[in-house]
Amino acid sequence: MSSTTETHEQPELKRAIGPKLLLLFIVGDILGTGVYALTGRIAGEVGGAAWAPILLAFVVATITAFSYLELVTKYPQAAGAALYTHKAFGIHFLTFLVTFAVLSSGITSASTASKFLAENFIVGFNLDWDQGGVTWVAVIFMIVLALINLRGVAESIKFNVVLTLVEFTGLMIVIFIGFWAMSQGNVDFSRILIFETSADKGAFLSITAATSLAFFSMVGFEDSVNMAEETKDPVKIFPKVMLTGLGITVLIYLLVSIAAVAIVPIGVLSESTTPLLEVVQAGAPGLPVDVIYPFLSMFAVANTALINMLMASRLLYGMAKQDVLPRSLGKVLPNRRSPWASIIFTTLIAVGLIVTVTNFMGTDTVSALGGTTALLLLCVFTVVNVAVLVLRRRPIDREHFHAPKILPYLGVLTCGFLVGPWAQDPIEYQIAGVMIGVGIVLWLLTWLWNRGVRAKKTRIRHPEDLAG
């Protein structure tokens, strides 16, 4: 949304990110709450073949990743979907909607993580609390995240590195326990080939709904395009690294899901609020790892929440600075230089989501918020795939990655299909609609305010007009 003139007047960012750092960023961003929190719910939709929706979600994500690769190497700037939408269509309001949808997805993702962290907190400390207690823990966690965010981005990124390592460790424990249980003959691999779907949905719709939910586990790769201006030779590096990162994460997810359904009965897994803890307890009952695993899970999903709240607050700050949203949301702390107004605003929205959705959904809050995140990003990805097709009519005289011609069309069809009511729960449309509605109201108020200010300046410049 910023003018290209302003962009060119600013000094370029330092290109300090090589292939290894970019790969760590992508893998760390994709690994997160989805696999920790939603493995059981995916199994509840399709039975033991929980790996199938994860694999399908990976295919859909990879198709769209090719579109992102074409665009990020064609326009290597740090603005992502908003930039591509604006270049393709040139409609400011559409660009705003895409940007606010990305922002909203960050808030719903962080809210999902905080609710799941609270569930693990209750289990880890063996507390006999109801959903009200869980909600309070989730709210307090969001406030702690806001304080870390207010402290400054440098501290937040350092904390993120530690959490990424914990996140990876927690998933590797599940995989190793799966192999160990297999060596002891304590697994039932026949379960991983069983499709068990509800009678009212049928196999196709159940797999579709599960794939849409599993898509939450595969998002995150799109955040990496915002690092394009700081990546060494992005045209050469991005395609290999992004596809490698997606491949690594889907392999980890498949191994985790297979271990989960082979070790734990589907009914137990689908009803648990801490599914991977069930795997650890059943697969290694003699080891004390089940005591520390809830805390590992807490730190792991905290990573997802921190990354997403950082992103959401910075996006809101950027839109406020561009006078697209109220300028008051762009206020910065004098000493820490952190955008305190946008941090507080996004935190309040997240807290409101957690409390409101919990009152309606109870223990299904994690599923509802995770599904809303997937819904918002699927809408954004649909627009991005269309943008690729539009921008192909405007070739540039610079080398860039070219996705296979058919893939953006498949991206529009697959992402658009998963946005439909056959793939989404009604509550997810309601949550997404309310959040986008808040954004539209703020945009409209800002537009009216700016229009009034411009009219006032015109009257001051031409006082003779008042005489008439």
Pick from 340, 12, 404: which is nearest to 150 by CA?
340
pLDDT of residue 38: 86
Q: Does a structural domain hold residue 241?
A: yes
Residues 6+ apart with CB under 8 A from 368: 357, 360, 361, 425, 427, 428, 431
Q: Does a structural domain hold residue 464?
A: no
Calculate mean pLDDT across residues 385-401: 91
How far apart (Å, rounded) are the C-alpha atoms in residues 185 and 206? 31
Q: Does a structural domain hold residue 6?
A: no
Three-state DSSP string of 376-391: HHHHHHHHHHHHHHHH
Angle at the Cα of 383 from the Cα atoms of 382 and 388, rounded to 5 degrees: 100
How far apart (Å, rounded) are the C-alpha atoms in residues 265 and 187? 10
- Residue 167 to residues 43, 190, 294, Cα–Cα distance (Å): 21, 29, 12
Q: Quick check: 288 pLDDT over 50?
A: yes
pLDDT of residue 463: 58
Q: Residue 415 belongs to what H/E stretch?
A: helix 407-419
CA 144 to chain centre: 20
CA 146 to chain centre: 18
Residue 179: give the domain boundaries. 16-458
The CATH number of whichever domain residue 161 belongs to comes to 1.20.1740.10
Q: By CB neighbour count within 10 A (0-12 exposed, 13-18 middle, 19+ buried), where does 61 fall?
A: buried
Q: Please, are residues 239 and 69 in contact by the beta-carbon 8 Å criterion?
A: yes
pLDDT of residue 466: 47
365-374, 381-390, 454-463: range with lowest mean pLDDT? 454-463
Q: Quick check: 142 pLDDT over 60?
A: yes
- What is the greatest pairwise CA distance in the chain? 94
Q: Does a structural domain hold residue 2?
A: no
pLDDT of residue 310: 83
How far apart (Å, rounded) are the C-alpha atoms in residues 255 and 174? 9
pLDDT of residue 363: 63
Buried b (16+ CB within 10 A) or exposed e, 377-409: bbbbbbbbbbbbeebeeeeeeeebbebeeebbe
Q: Please, are residues 282 and 263 in contact by the beta-carbon 8 Å criterion?
A: yes
Q: Please, are residues 82 and 222 in contact by the beta-carbon 8 Å criterion?
A: no
Count the neighbouring beta carbons within 10 Å of the beta carbon of residue 215: 29
Q: Does a structural domain hold residue 257?
A: yes
Q: Please, are residues 60 and 221 in contact by the beta-carbon 8 Å criterion?
A: no
Q: By CB neighbour count within 10 A (0-12 exposed, 13-18 middle, 19+ buried), where does 309 fall?
A: buried
> How many domains does the chain divide into?
1
Q: Is the dihedral of CA 410, 315, 113, 18 positive or negative?
A: positive
94-108, 142-156, 181-195, 454-468: range with lowest mean pLDDT? 454-468
Q: Does a structural domain hold residue 463?
A: no
Q: Residue 436 belongs to what H/E stretch?
A: helix 426-461
Calculate mean pLDDT across residues 388-408: 92
Angle between helical axes of 92-124 and 131-151 (0-180°, round to 10): 120
pLDDT of residue 217: 86
Q: Please, are residues 350 and 372 in contact by the beta-carbon 8 Å criterion?
A: no
16-20, 122-126, 314-318: range with lowest mean pLDDT? 16-20
Q: Quick check: 464 pLDDT over 60?
A: no
1-15, 113-127, 293-307: range with lowest mean pLDDT? 1-15
Q: Does a structural domain hold residue 421?
A: yes
Q: Residue 145 has which token pair? A: 């995240």
* β-bridge mates for residue 231, sequence order: 17
pLDDT of residue 14: 55
Q: Quick check: 153 pLDDT over 70?
A: no
pLDDT of residue 31: 83
Calculate mean pLDDT across residues 45-67: 93
Q: Which pLDDT tens digit goes with each residue over 298-342?
A: 888 887 888 888 888 888 888 888 888 888 998 988 877 788 999
User: What's the mean pLDDT when you consider all of the chain?
Assistant: 85
- Residue 107 to residues 131, 348, 352, 368, Cα–Cα distance (Å): 21, 10, 11, 13
pLDDT of residue 4: 42
Give the global pTM.
Answer: 0.87
Highest mean predicted confidence (pLDDT) among 231-235, 379-383, 462-466:
379-383
